[in-house]
């Protein structure tokens, strides 16, 4: 997968060189390039923002540097996907990450200030798939940290990036539930014992216990997810897992 990131703060993305995604880049599974939006300005001050029409606080990102950047980066055949992190977007989720992981080319447009001139996205939508995504109901100063989170969620789903594909299956949100609790040695630690069933070697009983833990934890911490699950079961028939 190829990923281009456009930002006025390229330094935000220096952490891409470390950890899982860093190795994926070295291994040639992910080709990530970070671009400075100011490289597509033409004035002496490399201006990227201006005051909003209609008034109000804050600044708006000017359209032309974005158009220049996107004309340089989007594939002319329309196969790129433009991801615009914004608190006004659709809520990002594991199913959305799975969808993006099948894309061949992602371009992240990281806005700052009060966002990008709205015409840019209409213009871009005539050239590629455009998706505005939010991490959740809170406000960040810009799209950079959100883009990093989305890229990590998407990148680890690209085949080969996570060494053991099994570890992708049994984790929170993959089946619509929160993950079961995990334990390692020693079996008793500071007076606390590991649940005995995990030491039993009885794999069916362990699976059953883990499933019950998932359901209990999800009901307690994220009852909204149980409602989604019930909805899906109604649509797909009983016992059909979310995929
Ligand atoms: Cl994607 N961007 C910004 N600026 N704030 C956010 C967000 C995104 N998601 C939640 N808050």
Per-residue pLDDT tens digits for 40-58? 999 999 999 999 999 999 9
Mean pLDDT, the chain, whole residue set = 92
For residues 70 and 124, is the Cβ–Cβ distance under 8 A? yes
In the structure, which protein residues have their CB atom closer than 6 angstroms to any atom of ligand 1?
Answer: 85-87, 133-136, 138-140, 142-143, 146
Q: Using the 8-state DSSP alphabet, how is residue 89 labeled?
A: E
User: Which residue puts its alpha carbon closest to atom 8 of ligand 1?
Assistant: 86
User: Among residues 225, 205, 206, which one has the least CA distance to residue 215?
Assistant: 225
Sign of CA dihedral 19, 22, 24, 27: negative
Query: Tokens standing for 14?
Result: 């220096």
Ligand 1: centre distance to CA 144 (Å):
9
User: Span 108-125, mean pLDDT?
Assistant: 95
Residue 25: per-residue pLDDT: 78
Whether the pTM exceeds 0.85: the reply is: yes
233 phi/psi in degrees, rounded to 5:
-60, -40
Per-residue pLDDT tens digits for 1-43? 999 999 999 999 999 888 767 778 778 899 999 999 999 999 9
Answer whether residue 132 shows pLDDT above 70. Answer: yes
Answer whether residue 240 shows pLDDT above 60. Answer: no
Atom of ligand 1 nearest to the CA of 89: 1
Strand order of the β-sheet with 129-134 is: 31-36, 2-7, 105-109, 80-91, 129-134
Ligand 1: centre distance to CA 136 (Å):
7
Lowest mean pLDDT among 41-45, 168-172, 185-189: 168-172
Q: What confidence category does residue 243 fall into, taking pLDDT thresholds of 50, 70 and 90?
A: very low
Ligand 1: centre distance to CA 165 (Å):
29
Q: What confidence category does residue 241 fall into, taking pLDDT thresholds of 50, 70 and 90?
A: very low
User: Among residues 227, 240, 131, 128, which one has the least CA distance to residue 175?
Assistant: 240
Sign of CA dihedral 213, 217, 220, 225: negative
Atom of ligand 1 nearest to the CA of 85: 1
Residue 234: per-residue pLDDT: 60
Query: Which residue did the predictor score with more confidence, 167 or 35?
Result: 35
Per-residue pLDDT tens digits for 219-233? 999 999 998 888 877
Answer whether residue 238 shows pLDDT above 80. Answer: no
């Amino acid at each position: 997968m190829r990923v281009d990131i456009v930002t006025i703060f390229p330094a935000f993305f220096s952490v891409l060189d470390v950890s899982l995604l860093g190795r994926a880049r070295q291994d040639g599974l992910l080709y990530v390039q970070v671009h400075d939006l100011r490289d597509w300005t033409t004035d002496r001050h490399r201006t990227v923002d201006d005051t909003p029409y209609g008034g109000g606080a804050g600044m708006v990102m000017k359209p032309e540097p974005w158009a220049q950047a996107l004309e340089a980066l989007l594939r002319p055949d329309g196969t790129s996907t433009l991801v615009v992190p914004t608190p006004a977007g659709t809520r990002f989720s594991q199913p959305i990450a799975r969808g993006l992981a099948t894309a061949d080319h992602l371009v992240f447009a990281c806005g700052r200030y009060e966002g990008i001139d709205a015409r840019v996205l209409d213009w871009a939508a005539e050239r590629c798939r455009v998706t505005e995504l939010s991490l959740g109901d809170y406000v960040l100063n810009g799209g950079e940290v959100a883009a990093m989170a989305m890229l990590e969620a998407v990148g680890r789903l690209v085949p080969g990036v996570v060494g053991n594909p099994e570890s992708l299956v049994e984790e929170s949100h993959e089946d619509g539930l929160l993950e079961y609790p995990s334990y390692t040695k020693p079996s008793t630690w500071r007076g606390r014992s590991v649940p005995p069933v995990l030491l039993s070697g009885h794999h069916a009983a362990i699976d059953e216990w883990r499933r019950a833990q998932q359901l209990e934890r999800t009901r307690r911490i994220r009852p909204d997810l149980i409602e989604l699950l019930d909805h899906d079961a109604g649509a797909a028939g009983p016992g059909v897992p979310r995929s």
